[in-house]
């Protein structure tokens, strides 16, 4: 077991209705992460560490939605200004129930919600950068100012927003840990294997739990 401390931060990624069963972009078994996330948050808080939530927050007609591109289908890939973009079913639209956190998520100790994907022309998987890999969300600065040095990631989905967040945390100079037991994957066209390879190359520690 890892000994948690005040310089540890738990980042719970996109535990929202649209990524859970019945949602517009449901991850298989996605709601199973909810009680696990709650328990992790309590443990981090008890150790003096921090808890942060991320929230996909797309405007209607977002460029990553398949229905924004005539003739396109969900899970097609297209080229946008910043590179290849997977097209998704419309999901986590601002102000809708699908964008809300799962009702069972009980983390009142969370000190920050990072909303991402709110720019109409660019998607955002990572909690740190938009998909151009340059435009920051401000999370890195928050972590540095709060003194968080080791960041742990869990939530939805392992191979997209969780993995990109963990990878970027390492790029930003933080010790980064992805918790597979408290995350669930989409695994689209081998995306889980590709994500694990990127994480290994970036120096991210991948474990089941802490």
Structure tokens at 164: 């990109």
The answer to whether 12 touches 37, Cβ cutoff 8 Å, is: yes
Task: Reply yes or no on whether 14 is catalytic.
Answer: yes
User: Residue 87, Cα to own-chain centre: how many angstroms?
Assistant: 17
Say which of 18, 143, 161, 168 is annotated catalytic. 161
Task: Reply yes or no on whether 116 is catalytic.
Answer: yes
Task: Reply yes or no on whether 161 is catalytic.
Answer: yes
Q: What gap in Å lies between CA 185 and CA 154, rounded to an integer?
A: 11
**Cα–Cα distances in angstroms (integers) from residue 90 to residues 7, 17, 67, 137, in the given order:** 37, 13, 7, 22
Say which of 116, 123, 143, 168 is annotated catalytic. 116
Residues marked active site are found at 14, 116, 161
């Amino acid at each position: 077991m890892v000994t948690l401390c005040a310089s540890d931060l738990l980042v719970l990624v996109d535990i929202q209705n649209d990524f859970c069963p019945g949602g517009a972009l449901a991850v298989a078994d996605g709601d199973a992460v909810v009680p696990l996330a709650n328990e992790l948050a309590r443990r981090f808080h008890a150790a003096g560490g921090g808890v942060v939530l991320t929230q996909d927050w797309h405007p209607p007609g977002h460029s990553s939605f398949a229905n924004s591109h005539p003739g396109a289908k969900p899970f097609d890939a297209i080229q946008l200004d910043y590179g290849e973009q997977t097209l998704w079913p419309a999901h986590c639209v601002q102000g809708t129930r699908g964008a809300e956190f799962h009702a069972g998520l009980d983390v009142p100790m969370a000190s920050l919600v990072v909303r991402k994907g709110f720019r109409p022309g660019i998607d955002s998987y990572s909690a740190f950068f938009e998909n151009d890999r340059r435009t920051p969300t401000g999370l890195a600065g928050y972590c540095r100012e709060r003194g968080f040095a080791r960041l742990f990631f869990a939530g939805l989905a392992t191979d997209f927003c969780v993995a990109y967040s963990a990878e970027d945390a390492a790029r930003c100079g933080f010790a980064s840990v992805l918790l597979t037991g408290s995350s669930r994957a989409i695994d689209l066209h081998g995306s889980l294997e590709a994500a694990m390879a990127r994480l290994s190359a970036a120096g991210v520690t991948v474990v089941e739990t802490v």
